[in-house]
Amino acid sequence: MNVKAFKYLLPVTIYVLAFVAFHSNDWLTWLPVIYAWIIIPLFELVLTPRVKDMDAAEEELAKKDKVYDYMLYFFVVLQFAAIFFFLQSIQNETLAWWEIAGRIAAMGLLCGTFGINIGHELGHRVNPLEQGLAKASLLTSLYMHFFIEHNKGHHKNVATPGDPSSARYNEPVYLFYFRTIVFSYLSAWKISNAEIRKKGLPVIHWKNEMLQAHVIQFLFVAMICVAFGPIITIYYLCAAAIGIGLLETVNYIEHYGLQRRATGIGKYERAMPNHSWNSNHILGRLMLFELSRHSDHHYLAGKKYQILKNHPDAPQLPTGYPGSMILAMVPPAWFYVMNRRINQLRKANDNLPVNLQVS
C-alpha cells in the first residue's frame, strides 16, 4: 500500500466544511463556498504548478494499488450521506433565506465536485461494479445520461464542431450552458436508442439505458419528496442544478477554442494532448482526482486518475480549475486571457485550427 495515495483524501476537507455548514448558521453556512472559490484559488495563484510524474516503477505500483479505487468508493458513500444530512438539516431547523441558500450552495458544490467528477472517473472503468457506482454517483446530481454521452459521444467527438461539450472560440460560457446541456442530453438519447436498435429491440424497452436513468432519477426524487416534502425537494433540485452547472463550467474550460484537424468529411485526427487544456496546479489536481490533467485523460481515456501524466506540449490553463472557472464567469476577461493563448498556440503549431463559434 502506497501511503502517498492518501493525499487524495484532501477532498474530505470540503465534506467536513459542508457538514459544518449543514449544522451551523449565519456565514458558516457559506464556509465550503468560501473555501472552494476564494481560499483555494488564491493559494493556486501563488503555488508553483507541479509537473513531476511517477517513474515507470512507481506508476506500475500505483496502477495496481487498490487503495486509489477504495477511496473513490468511499466518496460515493459519503456523497449519499451528505445528501441525507443536507435534507435533514433544512427540515429540522428554521433558517433565514441566506442560510438555506448557503446550505444549498454547499450541497451543490458536493454534487458537482464529487458526485459528477467521481462518476466520471469510475464511468471509464470496465468493471460492472465500478460502472454501477459511477451511475450511483451521477444520480446524486440527476445527471445519469452523462455516463452515456461522455463515454460514447464526447470522447469520440471532442474538439470537433460535432461535440456539444467542446466550447467554441469566443463562445461565452452562458451560451455554452444552453448548447451543451440541451444537445448533450439529445446526444445521449441518440446513442442509447442506436444501441438498443442494434440489439433488435424497440426504443421503448427496459434495457434502454436512457429510460433506466430517467426511471431511477424519478424514483430517487420521489423518495426525497415523500420523506422530506416538496419544498425541501425543490432545495435539493437546486443543489443538483448547481452541480450540473459546475460540471458544464469544467467542460467549458477543458476544451475552449481547441479543434482537431479534419482528415475528411466528418473525420478528424486522433485526439491528442494538445486538444485539451491542462493544469498542473496541485490543489485542483488533488481535489478533483487529477481531472485537471485532462490532456493525458483524453489521450488515453482508460488510464486511472493516479497515473495521469503531464504533457509538456499540452496547452496550459492560466491557473487551476477553480480559478479558471471563476475567470470563465467573466467572458471579456476569459476571452482576453485565453484567446491570446490560443493565438500563441496557432503560431507555434502551424496555424492550428480553432473551434470557431457558429454565428
pLDDT in tens, 93-142: 889 999 999 999 999 999 999 999 999 999 999 999 999 999 999 999 99
What's the whole-number average pLDDT of the chain?
Answer: 93
Higher pLDDT, 358 or 49: 49
At residue 295, does pLDDT exceed 50? yes
Cα gap 51→336, rounded to integer Å: 26
Are 147 and 177 within 8 A, CB to CB? Answer: no
- Say what the pLDDT of residue 356 is: 56
Q: Which of 281, 275, 254 is nearest to 352 (CA)?
A: 275
**Angle made by CA atoms 236, 240, 244, in degrees to the nearest 5:** 165
Q: What is the pTM of this model?
A: 0.94
Cα gap 27→32, rounded to integer Å: 10
At residue 301, does pLDDT exceed 60? yes
Residue 117, judged by CB atoms within 10 A of its CB (0-12, 13-18, 19+), counts as buried
Cα gap 245→164, rounded to integer Å: 15
- Say what the pLDDT of residue 266 is: 82
Selection from 39-53, 214-228, 304-318, 342-356 with the highest mean pLDDT = 214-228
Q: What is the mean pLDDT of residues 136-163?
A: 96
Higher pLDDT, 4 or 240: 240
- Say what the pLDDT of residue 350 is: 65
- Give the torsion sign (CA, 190, 294, 17, 99): negative
